[in-house]
Amino acid sequence: MYEVAILNVTGYAGLGAALLVEQHPDLRLAAVSGRADAGKQLGTVFPFWPGANLRIEEQVPPVDLVLCCLPHGAAAGAVAPLLAAGARVVDVSADFRLHDIGVYRQWYGEHPAPDLLDRAVYGLPELHAEVIAGASLVANPGCYPTAAILALAPAIAAGIVELSLIVDAKSGISGGGRSLTLNNHFGEMDQSVHAYGIDGHRHLPEIEQELSVLAGSPVDVLFTPHLIPMVRGLLATCYARLRTPIARDELINLYREYYASAPFTRVVDVPPRTKWCSGTNYCFVQPALSHGGSHLVAMAAIDNLGKGAASQALQNANLLLGLPERAGLGQTPVYP
């Protein structure tokens, strides 16, 4: 039984991770932190909490595994001493996702622990399972990059599309976290959809980084995220011009072969819906052809708090600890 600590358990990702750890057969939740609620019992802050009523601390000890759900900028400094003490870490923030320190500075500012960047592995198991298994620090991907990369990876890896890409993605408002802002205020969001980050979203360099590695050369991505009036769920619709024509059946088979050993990514024949994966670690992908067959239209649906955050962190934890990849992640969707 491995002992697990969670940093920032009172956020959506932290609480989601704690709930998953609580039902995991090989993990024990040993400690949790949350500065604003430090000193309170977990069951007091969340009366529905089903497990041991842990006291929320300001810091956690270096246990076997730490799931860090702090915001970017705060995460790196917090996990550095835990790594030094021998803990393994899955970081849900953006602090270790970008390999190039110059790109990180461009989007986030100065890095709090640049010496750790070389140790970090980008934690998308469908692409990097083997290196995740041997790592000590895993950078959990962002929600938008998870969906976009999984939608496009088979086509990019096979070289069937041009490398100028469009990603149009829509997310539920929980992606903005628990803190109330004008953008996630009910009166502003209800019955309304809006785009944001038109001049550049921080998930863009992640998408370009991973797809460029797959392509073997730089890709150019036009990325537009949107907020939609639902709590959770994310749909990415991605467009790319085909280099040569391809039959629909051949395209679907290419995708199915690529994800044949991926337990949580399912290739489907119809446009995926976010409700199919609500509360789960699944990603549903459909590769389709535009009218006339000149373009790939690849869609991916995930739960932005599941495969886009907490449950993917547990999937990475399983790989880090040498546990079955599916362990503790058998949730079925809440449907309808």
The angle that helices 248-258 and 143-158 make with each other, rounded to 10 degrees, is 120
pTM strictly above 0.85 = yes
Question: Per the structure block, which two tokens stand in for 130?
Answer: 């083997």
E-assigned strands of the chain? Answer: 2-7, 27-33, 56-57, 65-68, 88-91, 120-122, 137-139, 161-171, 194-195, 220-227, 234-242, 265-267, 283-289, 295-302
Q: Distance between CA atoms of 265 and 60, rounded to whole angstroms?
A: 33
Give 295's strand partners: 241
Class of domain 143-302: alpha beta
What pLDDT shows up at residue 177?
Answer: 83
What pLDDT shows up at residue 110?
Answer: 94
Residue 327 has pLDDT above 90, yes or no: yes
**What's the mean pLDDT when you consider all of the chain?**
96
Residue 178 pLDDT level (bands cut at 50, 70, 90) = confident
The ranges assigned to domains in the chain are 2-140+309-320, 143-302
Residue 158 has pLDDT above 90, yes or no: yes
Q: Which of 143, 238, 277, 283 is catalytic?
A: 143
Number of Cβ atoms within 10 Å of the Cβ of 155:
26
Residue 179 has pLDDT above 90, yes or no: no
Q: Distance between CA atoms of 196 and 229, rounded to whole angstroms?
A: 14
Q: Is 143 a catalytic residue?
A: yes
Question: Is there a common fold for 2-140+309-320 and 143-302?
Answer: no
Question: Per the structure block, which two tokens stand in for 158?
Answer: 């096979």
Identify whether the C-beta of residue 64 lies closer than 8 Å to the C-beta of residue 3: yes
Residue 183 has pLDDT above 90, yes or no: no
The alpha carbon dihedral of 262, 160, 143, 195 has a sign of: negative
Considering the domain delimited by 2-140+309-320, tell me its CATH architecture. 3-Layer(aba) Sandwich (3.40)
Residue 35 has pLDDT above 90, yes or no: no
Q: Distance between CA atoms of 37 and 296, rounded to whole angstroms?
A: 48
Q: What is the mean pLDDT of residues 198-226?
A: 97
H helices of 190-245, in order, are 204-215
Q: What is the mean pLDDT of residues 260-285?
A: 98
